[in-house]
Amino acid sequence: MAPPFIVDIHTHVYPPSYMNMLRSRKTVPYIHDPPSNATPRLIILASDDDPSIPLDQRGRPVDSSYSDINAKLSFMRQHGINSSVISLANPWLDFLEPEEAQVWAERINNDLEATCARVNQAADPTGTSALHDKETLFAFGALPLSAPSPDVVVNEIKRLKILPHLRGVIMGTSGLGKGLDDARLDPIWAALQETGSMLFLHPHYGLPDEAFGGSDATNRYGHVLPLALGFPLETTIAVTRMLLSGVFDRFPQLQILLAHSGGTLPFLAGRIESCILHERKFVANGGDVPGPQRSVWDILKTNIYLDAVVYSTAGLNAAVTASGGTDRLLFGTDHPFFPPLESKDEKWASVTTNYKAIHAAFDTDNDAVTAVLGGNAARILNLK
């Protein structure tokens, strides 16, 4: 039996133009190049920019795997991945000055398109090869969310739709700076719905340091608390705010792919629904706030897709139960984050753990395994 077609829909790239922009900055986010040709450091969170930490030790190292597309292709070959949908990693373009946002969004999205076109042309010069033959790339574009007007963002969404290798957009949970229940986002939701563009929603800012014990905890435990707990809760809170504000009522065809299997949303959906049904402020219970008209369960089954970056069968089972089946679950790796700590040549535990979890969760259903590993992504994102 032929091996399944495998698609990685959660895999990041910092294009060279983005790296150069970060190198030109002195405030978060920025890249610091230590002396003696040491690995550059990405200072991405405010907590990383602690003056008490030597500059050469702040943030995280960013080697060639972050920006060299050949390193991406090598990683794909090493782990049997046929196609990847690459996207800019956090913090995207949220930090840009308004007058710079459109220019940089167009430049970086054009870079992504050109990279995908070059790789795919080299993989299949005649356009006749099978999908399994060589590694191919598609992309989620970045949005100029700090632009002076939402119209700039809307125009970029429409422009991306006609680029041959773009398959949607990636966006953080802060939106225009006030969260995803901000009414100013309505034109953006409308554009995504109108164009049928997939929104890959990814966390970045996590929760305040105080939620984890302040900076002392950060010094003791590094990034464990913000990454393991802050990111998933950030996603859960962001989507719940969208639900409560009626975004899914106003834009019922909106399609969103949630990073990290939706955070804790699949597990907490029943609790969220119960609290909504009992909230006295909502009109349904005699209050004066409209409240959501659709249930969490309906939205999970019609508007939301989940990646499989959850590292356990328990997490996958929750995701599948919440979404009503395996047809809305998509494999991902979160490359180049969480690399091996010993040898760069070894397989990444962050990837093999997800492979094992998928096979363990659906070991009696080969069709489900095939769908989650790549079939769903190929169908949903039209990866031809």
pLDDT of residue 384: 75
pLDDT in tens, the chain (384 residues): 678 999 999 999 999 889 999 999 999 999 999 987 789 999 988 878 889 889 998 988 999 999 999 999 999 999 999 999 999 999 899 999 999 999 999 999 999 999 999 999 998 887 666 555 689 999 999 999 999 999 999 999 999 999 999 999 999 999 999 999 999 999 999 999 999 999 999 998 788 888 888 877 777 887 888 899 999 999 999 999 999 999 999 999 999 999 999 999 999 999 999 999 999 999 999 999 999 999 999 999 999 999 999 999 999 999 999 999 999 999 999 999 999 988 777 899 999 999 999 999 998 899 999 999 999 999 999 997
Which residues pair with residue 282 across a beta bridge? 289
Query: Using CB atoms within 10 A of its CB, is residue 71 exposed (0-12), middle (13-18) or buried (19+)?
Result: middle
Q: Which domains does the chain have, with CATH numbers?
A: 7-15+66-381 (3.20.20.140)
- Reduce the DSSP state of residue 42 to 3 states and report it: strand
Is there a contact between 254 and 190 (Cβ–Cβ < 8 Å)? no
pLDDT of residue 208: 86
CA distance 282 to 286: 7
CA distance 297 to 329: 15
What are the structure tokens assigned to 338, written together? 């969480």
150-161 and 186-195 helices, crossing angle to 10°? 10
String of DSSP letters for 76-138: HHHTT--EEEEEPPTTTTTTS-HHHHHHHHHHHHHHHHHHHHHHHHHH-TTS-S-TTSS-EEE
Q: Which residues contact 175 (CB under 8 A, 6 or more apart)?
A: 145, 182, 185
Claim: this prediction has a pTM higher than 0.85: yes
Query: Using CB atoms within 10 A of its CB, is residue 299 exposed (0-12), middle (13-18) or buried (19+)?
Result: buried
CA distance 158 to 274: 38
What are the structure tokens assigned to 366, written together? 């080969």
Is there a contact between 181 and 242 (Cβ–Cβ < 8 Å)? yes
pLDDT of residue 345: 73
